[in-house]
Amino acid sequence: MKTIIIGGVAGGASAAARLRRLDENAEIIILERGEYVSFANCGLPYYIGGTITNRNALTLQTPESFKARFHIDVRVQNEAVKIDPTAQTVTVKNLVSGDTYQEQYDHLILSPGAEPIKPNISGIDSNNVFTLRTIPDTLNIQEYIETAKPKSAVVVGGGYIGVEMAENLTEAGLDVAIVELADHLIAPLDFDMAADVHQYIKEKGIELYLNNGVTAISGNRVMLQNGEIESDCIILSVGVRPETALAQECGIATNARGCIIVDPQMRTNLPHIYAVGDAVEVKDFITKSPAFIPLAGPANKQGRIAADNIAGFSSGYTGTQGSAILKLFDMTVATTGLNEKSAAAAGIDYDKTYTYSASHASYYPGGTNMSLKVLWDKKTLHIIGAQIVGFDGVDKRLDVLASAIRFGAKITDLATLELCYAPPFGSAKDPVNMLGFVAENIVTGKIKQFFWHDVETLPRDGSVTLLDVRTVTEVRRGKIDGFINIPLDSLREHLSELPKDKPVYVHCHSGLRSYIACRILAGNGYDCYNLAGGWRLYESVMHECTVPEYICTECK
């Protein structure tokens, strides 16, 4: 049996290695048009920033190492230029010699990946404009920094790679700005969770141009929809598109976006041809709808599944939920599943809640708080999405939530999880447990919520009571107009001042003390609502909504 794999990196390389482990006698050929068959593309920004100093560390496998360990024929700088599905042949061009030859296959796996999108604007091909997708891209940027010695850089696009590049260019000593067409960085985040990211990244000296886009580049001038920036270096990070022209030319079915359509076994519509990685259409794990979610983890799994089926072992891909994580200096940002926009687009009637929890026991030194947000389906109570922004312990909490989603957990199940506890690592009531406790109170009717985006529409005409239960000192630092202050610990003594025939809307700093206040009020016959996420979340979002020349989409 002879299998040809077009493209390496995550999907193709993992398929090749898995196939060899399952079939010692198979003939396996990898065709890779680039110089590198398997490299850590997620690590590329950190080479530019100096965190990774050894260039060779970016190369995970070489043709020689593949040959020695797996007895796989890896041909770099060999480009597949034509597929004949009837004859089951691939026409290959050796990019070094220029020669063309054909290879017969029994099975074919396509792993062409995706290519960076380059907007059709003037100046996009200037020598100070770069994309980052491969090792040569990285070396080009690094060489430019070393030779041209730029003092400033503009990153166009505020997704994961764009933000990572902004961090690493800053670490390399450049003054950096990010231009993003949307109203917030990191699209999988909701705006309210991105607000903390915006404030932190600006504290690190990175300028943000949100709700803005690049219209032209002329030398060091970057023209925007609103204004312009002077910059020595421009990094394009506006997304990727599947690189599937070769597949389309031979009759492989693709969707409107150009993604290769595959079944759960990673088979295309043509016999003996499979496809994996960033070029394929996946099924969203939660909505079950077709999606394009280019991530390394899913690509590896898909390569493994294609190899399983070629080797005669039944295996299927169950969908992508989009679990991803980002390091931003000392901050960690992590997401999984749906955000509010995608949940609404899918027609899901969802609820949400926020917590603000310490990474480990508060009495043990070094703890920091993290902001957590979780969405769940009101009908089924299944968790459909989670977002965390913080500094320590974010990754393990998000991984627990991602696992909970994958195994169909309900939001109330989080309260029952028995997670590791010792003061240096967590709390007896872990942040994940706290999400479950809060949601359980909501689901069972023990508490009713209102949200930051409801605050401005609350009546100030006396028809409702607006109550702030923070301390006097906290209130001096900032308050919401129209809210009266009665600190929680003296609330019972002041109940007579609050009319029972009016709903009471309560807030504290994070939502915990106001929950206690609501229980006190409910126990005394009041109709009470708690501000989810508290003053801390409200102030963070409102700060972003009121900065000069910027109004978030939520607040328009």
Please give the positions annotated as active site: 42
CB atoms within 10 A of CB 409: 20
CA distance 137 to 135: 5
Report the half-sphere exposure of 469 (CA within 13 A, side-chain side).
Answer: 31
Q: Which residue has the tokens 């506890």?
A: 421
**Pair type for strands 27-32 and 2-6:** parallel
Report the half-sphere exposure of 322 (CA within 13 A, side-chain side).
Answer: 26
Q: Is the Cβ–Cβ distance between 105 and 90 less than 8 Å?
A: yes
- Report residue 276: phi and psi, to 5°: -145, 165
Cα separations in angstroms, 138 against 177, 293, 467 = 19, 23, 54
Q: Is the Cβ–Cβ distance between 254 and 248 less than 8 Å?
A: yes
CA dihedral 183, 187, 192, 193 (to 10 degrees): -140
Q: Which two tokens stand for residue 439?
A: 């949601």
Q: Is the Cβ–Cβ distance between 231 and 201 less than 8 Å?
A: no
Under DSSP, is residue 22 helix (H, G, I), strand (E, B) or coil? Answer: helix
Q: Which two tokens stand for residue 119?
A: 């907007």
Q: Give residues with Cβ within 8 angstroms of 146, minimum separation 6.
A: none
Q: In 3-state terms, the chain is what percent helix, strand and coil (to 5)? A: 35, 25, 40
Q: DSSP string spanning 296-316?
A: HHHHHHHHHHHHHHHTT----
Q: Which of 519, 208, 134, 190 is nearest to 333 (CA)?
A: 190
Task: Classify residue 275 by burial, with Cβ atoms within 10 Å: 0-12, 13-18, 19+.
Answer: buried
Report the half-sphere exposure of 16 (CA within 13 A, side-chain side).
Answer: 32
CA–CA–CA angle 171, 177, 179 (5° rounding): 135
Q: Give residues with Cβ within 8 angstroms of 24, minimum separation 6.
A: none
| CA 457, chain centre distance (Å) | 32
Cα separations in angstroms, 262 against 133, 254, 389, 418, 543 = 24, 9, 34, 39, 45
Q: Which of 549, 188, 167, 507 is nearest to 343 (CA)?
A: 188
CA distance 54 to 47: 8
